[in-house]
């Protein structure tokens, strides 16, 4: 395994762990005392779920050995971009054209 692949994998696993912790326990005790009539569910849903899905997809791509390759142009993504955004699917040039949708 190339070094940046194992680095990216490590980073993703840690991030996934943190997100799961957040979505499981965050705010339950601190929020509920403001609303003692009814427990308000934490609004962690959409964004965290989306990021977890991104991370899972990135981990799958790492296992398949296709991480670090731009899905649009097939070119190399570059080590720096992989470190900054391990789940990125497009190189800087292609994501600059709005393919990433962010
Ligand atoms: Zn590209």
Give the pLDDT confidence of 5-14 residue by residue, as tens digits.
888 889 899 9
Rounded distance from Cα 53 to ligand 1 centre (Å): 22
CA atoms within a 13 Å half-sphere pointing along the CA-CB vector of 32: 9
Give the pLDDT confidence of 26-48 residue by residue, as tens digits.
444 444 444 444 555 555 678 88
Rounded distance from Cα 26 to ligand 1 centre (Å): 37
d(Cα 16, Cα 88) in Å, to the nearest integer?
A: 15
CA atoms within a 13 Å half-sphere pointing along the CA-CB vector of 31: 11
Rounded distance from Cα 36 to ligand 1 centre (Å): 52
């Amino acid at each position: 395994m190339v070094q940046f692949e194992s680095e990216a994998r490590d980073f993703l696993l840690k991030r996934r762990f943190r997100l799961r912790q957040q979505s499981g326990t965050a705010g339950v005790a601190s929020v509920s005392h403001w609303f003692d009539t009814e427990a308000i569910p934490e609004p962690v849903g959409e964004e965290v779920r989306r990021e977890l899905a991104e991370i899972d997809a990135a981990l799958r791509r790492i296992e398949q050995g296709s991480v670090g390759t731009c899905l649009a142009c097939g070119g190399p993504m570059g080590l720096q971009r992989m470190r900054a955004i391990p789940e990125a699917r497009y190189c800087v040039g292609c994501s600059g054209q709005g393919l990433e949708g962010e």
